[in-house]
Amino acid sequence: MVYVIRSSSVRLLNGKINEITKDIPEKKYFSLEYDDLQDVIIDASYVGMFSDLRAIIVRGVNYFGGKAKYEDQVNSLFKLINNLDESITLILVCDNLLKTKDSAKTLLSMNVEFIDYSNNTEAEEEYLKNYEKENELKIDPKALTKLKEFTCNNFDLLMNELDKLSIIRKSITFKDVVEFSSNYIIPKDNLDELDYNDVSFKFVDSLINKKFKDAFAYFDKVVERGDDIYSLIGLINSQFSNVYMVKDALSKGLSDEEIMNELGYKKVGRVYIMKKNGNIYTLDELRDIICYLSDIDLKIKLGNDPINSLKEFILSL
């Protein structure tokens, strides 16, 4: 069986993969960001003597979106699908799949099951409903609305915040969200007029570009100056979130100008900077970083030393 999954949510994606493969004992994971398609084909072509059930999960299948045709890769993939042994479950994660592209039309016309979690509100609501039930949670509707606002309607960030809140409370109120949740709202007003020569911005820029010697030097100056650590974490979060959103938009085929308008930038040059920074990280790595920052924010609110917590974050990069 072949599944093609398009998802804007890691949480929904992983949940679906777990559901599909729960009764399959052997699982193999590939990512075409790092692995060669030929390695996937070789692995999928192997059938054991006893035809044991196997699942092959392939992330980063970006052949079916954008302008590039990837003819050789697409033809190889189609050949694999047509000749796949029935003992193998193949899951293709195609986040940037465009249904209007000819190769995508061909793919979806084959013997595959297409699962679309791209901004799927119904699937998100169903997942959240099951999450509340499984964890015996009660979430006040006003609290959920505020949480959606804080996380900019990003389902993965929202679920990450609920994971944290559920440790503290089983009945989550509006007050709990305001007191303990991270605020991911990125200010759009005067975004391009911010003073990027300020030492705090130099610190964040060094951090994002993994220039750690400079980052620690600027961090010492920020601490010496007495800057508010919460504000600094907010700034780091904002910049990494911008990098993530630009990289994610690019993977979905948006142009620089479209991204500029979508994110409220006044100059396309800001998109170029985010693109450059985005080349250093994968989308998964950026998601992990943003979630890590969220955890730091909560730990500090619960009493951890803010300076040491931020130093640990720098070292984690």
93/156 same-domain check: no
Q: What is the pLDDT of residue 4?
A: 96
- How many domains are there within the chain? 3
pLDDT at 49: 64
Q: What angle do CA 49, 19, 135 make, to 5 degrees?
A: 140
End-to-end CA distance of the chain: 39
How many CA atoms, within 13 angstroms, populate the side-chain half-sphere of residue 79? 12
Based on the fold, state whether residues 205 and 266 are members of the same structural domain.
Answer: yes
Q: What pLDDT, on the 0 to 100 scale, is given for residue 73? A: 92
pLDDT values of the chain reduced to their tens digit, one per residue, 317 residues: 999 999 888 889 889 999 999 999 899 999 887 789 999 999 998 876 666 899 999 988 988 987 778 899 999 999 999 999 999 999 999 877 888 889 999 999 999 999 999 877 899 999 999 999 999 999 999 999 988 888 777 788 788 889 888 888 899 999 888 887 766 554 444 434 444 457 788 888 889 999 888 888 888 888 888 877 777 887 888 888 889 888 888 877 778 888 887 777 778 888 888 888 888 998 888 888 888 887 787 777 677 788 888 888 888 88
**Does 185 reside within a domain?**
no
Question: Does 125 lie in the same domain as 61?
Answer: no
Same domain, yes or no: 77 and 125: no
Amino acid letter for position 120: N
Contact between residue 274 and residue 243 where contact means Cβ atoms under 8 Å apart: yes
Last residue within a domain, chosen from 88, 117, 146 = 117
Which residue from 233, 248, 238, 230 is spatially nearest to 285, judged by alpha carbons? 248
Rounded to an integer, what distance in angstroms lies between the CA atom of residue 195 and that of residue 271? Answer: 17
Bridge partners (DSSP) of residue 57 are 29, 91
68 and 15 together in one domain: yes
CA distance 110 to 294: 42
The alpha-helical segments, DSSP class H, found in the chain are 10-21, 37-45, 71-82, 102-109, 121-134, 141-150, 155-168, 174-180, 199-208, 212-225, 229-251, 256-263, 269-278, 283-301, 306-316
**Same domain, yes or no: 50 and 19:** yes
Distance between CA atoms of residues 296 and 310, nearest Å: 8
Does 259 lie in the same domain as 157? Answer: no
C-alpha 248: how far from its chain's center? Answer: 8
What the block records as the tokens of 180 is: 């303990």
Considering the domain architecture, whether residues 8 and 70 belong to the same structural domain is answered as yes
pLDDT at position 307 is 84
Domain range for 266 is: 191-316
Task: Tell me phi and psi for residue 11, to 5 degrees.
Answer: -65, -45
DSSP, collapsed to helix, strand or coil, labels residue 17 as helix
108 with 26: CB under 8 angstroms?
Answer: no
96 plus 131 within the same structural domain: no
Predicted pLDDT of residue 195: 44
- Which pLDDT does position 187 carry in this prediction? 46
Looking at residue 178, its pLDDT comes to 84
Q: Which residues contact 120 (CB under 8 A, 6 or more apart)?
A: 8, 9, 12
Cα Rg for the chain, rounded, in angstroms?
A: 22
Per the document, the length of the chain is 317
The one-letter code for the residue type at 101 is K
Whether 186 is in a domain gets the answer no
Please report where in the chains the tokens 């951890």 appear, as a residue. 304
- Nearest Cα neighbor of 21 from 55, 60, 59 is 55
